Amino acid sequence: ELRLVHDLFANSSQEVRPVKNKESAIKVFFGIAYTQLVELDAKNQVLVSNVWIRQASNCIGLKCLWNNHLLRWNESHYGGIKSINIDPKLVWLPDIVLYNNGSMDQFKTKVILSSDGTNTWYAPSILRSRCSIDITFFPFDDQRCTLHFGSWTYDGLRVDLTNMSASVDLSSYMPSGEFEMINAPVDRIIVRYSCCPEPYPNLVFTLHIRRKVLFYFNNLIVPCFLITAFALLTFVLPPNTGERVTLVITTLLAMTVFMLMIAENTPTTSDVTPLIGKFFVASMVEIGLALIATCFVLNIYESTGPSEDVPNWIRTLLLEYLAPLLRVTKP
């Protein structure tokens, strides 16, 4: 095996494209197997993904292999060795990078090189990609995050980048506890820059994910409904009860605590206000109005004696305007 490695790489360079004609483009099939959605950092708008990167020069059915005609050998000359495991730095690989990259951690794995020149290389990687998050309907929101891959230095006339399949491989995907994976299509686009007339093929992997709302429903929405209902109960208590104002103030403070929890789980942006934020603000306004109404009722109750008549303006407001709205028959 040592003699084989020495003979293979003695007169070869990883900088040379494995093509017989320098004018022809080498076809590169590229794909990813998405294994885990590690985290969607809403505050920093970064998606952390665990993927397997796959690259090949030939696909037959579902089997994709990389072929390098410069690295072939006769098995009978080397003791029947059919394949060897080598460092990726020893063979030519296209410089495909993640354009919307936050950072990329790639595990060091070997390339399986066969005697007929075919290479197999799966590179497990942790990708941190930028993702523009729309929180308009949070927590009932869908997010579409893209992984934008392309060659950094080779144009389409030298490296023809093509997707392995029409969608991301999700066969090994581990479901997330926070998001549901809806679909993950792959699009091939051609980009032309103002500086260069050559085409640059890019692959865009779109991850359509939907937030699971059970956590937010049980821990935020339902308690908010209950707190708002407690504030309305103050109108059922008799006026001489001294705890009416205390109850409303307590519910208002509880709602403020929930607002702080919402602020910790939503991105810091002034572009839009999330749906749940609007709901909490409306609830706080309702509780504030309930506090004002309670103070108004208590003021009237304490400032009038038991034998005094109700002022005419209050009788007019209640009997002429509010009674028809509440479908109450005037006495």
Residue 168, both tokens: 């991301």
Q: Map out the domains of the chain with their CATH numbers.
A: 1-211 (2.70.170.10), 215-326 (1.20.58.390)
**pLDDT of residue 276 exceeding 60:** yes
**pLDDT of residue 313 exceeding 90:** no
**pLDDT of residue 6 exceeding 90:** no
Using 50, 70 and 90 to split pLDDT, how confident is the model at 61? low
**pLDDT of residue 201 exceeding 90:** yes
pLDDT of amino acid 58:
67
Using 50, 70 and 90 to split pLDDT, how confident is the model at 117? confident
pLDDT of amino acid 193:
84
Query: How high does pLDDT run on average in the chain?
Result: 84
Using 50, 70 and 90 to split pLDDT, how confident is the model at 255? confident
CB 221 within 8 A of CB 193: no
**pLDDT of residue 205 exceeding 90:** yes
Using 50, 70 and 90 to split pLDDT, how confident is the model at 307? low
How far lies 249's CA from each of 157, 185, 256, 257, 299, in Å? 70, 51, 11, 13, 17
Q: By percentage, how much of the chain surpasses pLDDT 70?
A: 91
User: How far is residue 43's CA from residue 148's CA, in Å, rounded to a whole number?
Assistant: 21
pTM of the model: 0.79
Place of tokens 């410089």: 95
85 CB neighbour count, 10 Å cutoff? 11
**pLDDT of residue 136 exceeding 70:** yes
Q: How far apart are the first and last CA of the chain?
A: 105
Beta strands in the chain (DSSP E): 26-41, 46-56, 58-60, 63-67, 83-86, 96-98, 101-106, 111-114, 118-120, 122-130, 142-151, 159-163, 179-183, 186-191, 200-211
Residue 253, both tokens: 């403070």
Q: By percentage, how much of the chain surpasses pLDDT 90?
A: 23
pLDDT of amino acid 41:
87
pLDDT of amino acid 142:
94
Q: If residue 301 lies in a helix (H) or strand (E), which one and from where to where? A: helix 275-303
